Amino acid sequence: MLSVKNIFSNFISERIPKKQTNIFFQLFNGIEAMFSQLELLIKIYKRERNILSATTLLSLRNLAAQNGFEPKLKIPSKGILYMKVSTKLFNRVGYPLYLPPNAVFTNNATKLNYYFNSNKSLKIENDVLLIPVIEGELIQKNEISKGNYIERFYINTDSIAENSIIIEVNGIKYTEVKSFFDNENLYDDKQFIVKYSNKLDTPLVIYVKGTKLNDILVITYRLTSGEYGNIESKFNFETQSIINSQGNLIDIADDEITIYNNSGFNFGSNGTDVNALRAAI
């Protein structure tokens, strides 16, 4: 079977003299290069659509999904930090002090950020505190509905924590479901589905049902490093997120606070791995 380039070459060569001075022949050389590139892209496309030859994670996810297997997103590492506050800090800046929601704690070794896992402030009234944290930053973006029955929005990364996606319209939260068909007329028909897309630059797609034209959707999700956030030995942490009663950040010296991992940080995951995807195809 002749390739696209060869078919095109045979067609042109029968009609255009092969002379360097022939402008049509020079133009043909450029078009021939374009068809060579097109032929390469077609070969890659065929390879990535074949269960025996697919190599990219994106292709494996799509092939597994066609067999009814839904890959899982990443799971962020969670744990408890031990924090000891020196009386020197209270003497210098006053009392009380507070730890606001999503306060940032940085692992001094890996430089990964972990966030206070609470939507309420914590009053620092003891010199020793145990603080629940989760790895990964919360991201918020706004999208505008075009009035379609089912809207489609893409996310340009797959480093999203499982079950972290929240969608709100006018303060009303939408419910994540696995199927619109199986949940017809439930949850006031305000639902969304998260799937892997077939695009390399936007690997995740969110389908949203129940919006109206020009509705502003507030989409929140957590970016995570997955298993890279796990901690197997003792590491020191630092924070500059502590505030006073006026809500102002305070500067903290190294000898005024001690923070290290106390427990947990074992179950971060990169989601469905390549071996599981191949087994599902």
pLDDT tens-digit map of 6-62: 665 666 555 555 554 455 555 555 566 666 666 666 665 665 666 556 667 777 777
Instruction: Write the DSSP string, 101-140.
Output: TT-EEEETTT--EEEE--SS-EEE-SSEEEEEEEESEEEE
- Whole-number mean pLDDT of the chain? 83
175 forms bridges with which residues in the sheet?
191
pLDDT at residue 7, rounded to an integer? 61
Which is more confident, 39 or 93?
93
CA angle 3, 7, 8 (to 5 degrees): 115
Identify residue 148 by its one-letter amino acid code: N
pTM over 0.85: no
How far, in Å, CA of 206 to CA of 217, rounded?
12
Q: Quote the CA–CA distance of 7 and 137 in Å, as a whole number.
A: 53
The string of pLDDT tens digits covering residues 173-213 is 999 998 898 888 899 999 999 988 877 778 888 999 999 99
Average pLDDT for 144-166? 92
- Give the integer Cα–Cα distance in Å for 110 and 237: 10
Q: Which carries the bigger pLDDT value, residue 18 or residue 277?
A: 277
Contact 223, 164 (CB under 8 A): no
Backbone phi and psi for residue 24, each to the nearest 5 degrees, phi listed first: -70, -35
